[in-house]
Amino acid sequence: MLAPLALAALFAGPVTLTFLIAAFVGVGAWEWGRMCRNASSHAWLLVGLLILGLAGAALIWLRHMHGIYAVLWLFGTVWATDIGAYAVGKLVGGPRIAPTISPNKTWAGLAGGVTCAVIWSIAFAYAIEPGTVGMGPLVAFGAIAAVMAQAGDFAVSFAKRRFGLKDSSGLIPGHGGVLDRVAGLLTTGPALALLLLAINSDARAW
């Protein structure tokens, strides 16, 4: 549901995207504070706010330093993972990964998410500056990012169960809150930023 808004901000320019990310981080921080209000320790609150801040900063840095392609690929990878995991998990079912944390997530769904992320990465490599985007590394990054996106979903699910909540909030009718929708970016955004910092490479040179 948030994809059109995110894409519009992405293509509008780095400043627009920065404002949108800041707004999402602010709303996410409000949701996290609401979730943690009955916690017996401030550590939960501080850790959550740190993760949100790092994820927001990573996305802003990616757009400003590595251009539109890095963020577009990342958004598409997370969305492809979510769609593939949901569709294949519903269709195939099978053993669950961690039923006490997220009872609807299955190993088949994870495989479906990774597959869709890889397909998206291949399509991206062909569509964006054909011949200049390294297929192998991008596909590998796609598979890894898919697993990390699912890990982000599990982390948010674990927190919600820890605090006895079904959704982070009810801001998006029928879909929970902002944290429920952007959980995958909380892990993949910082991971991609760290990777690019480590290899000191422009995203378009993949």
206 alpha carbon, distance to own chain's centre: 20
If phi > 0 it is left, if psi is from -120 to 50 it is alpha, else beta; for residue 128 that is: beta
What's the pTM value of the predicted model, to 2 decimals?
Answer: 0.87
Q: Structurally, how many domains does the chain consist of?
A: 1
Tell me the pLDDT band of 119, cut-offs 50, 70 and 90: very high
Are 195 and 69 spatial neighbours (Cβ–Cβ below 8 Å)? no
pLDDT for position 203: 44
Q: What is the pLDDT of residues 124-174, one digit of tens each?
A: 888 876 555 567 788 889 999 999 999 998 998 888 888 887 777 766 766
- Identify any residues that bridge with 172 across adjacent strands, giving them in sequence order: 176
User: In 3D, which of 28, 71, 36, 44 has the Cα closest to residue 188?
Assistant: 71
User: Which DSSP helix (H) or strand (E) runs through 21?
Assistant: helix 14-36
The residue segments making up the domain with residue 172 are 3-205
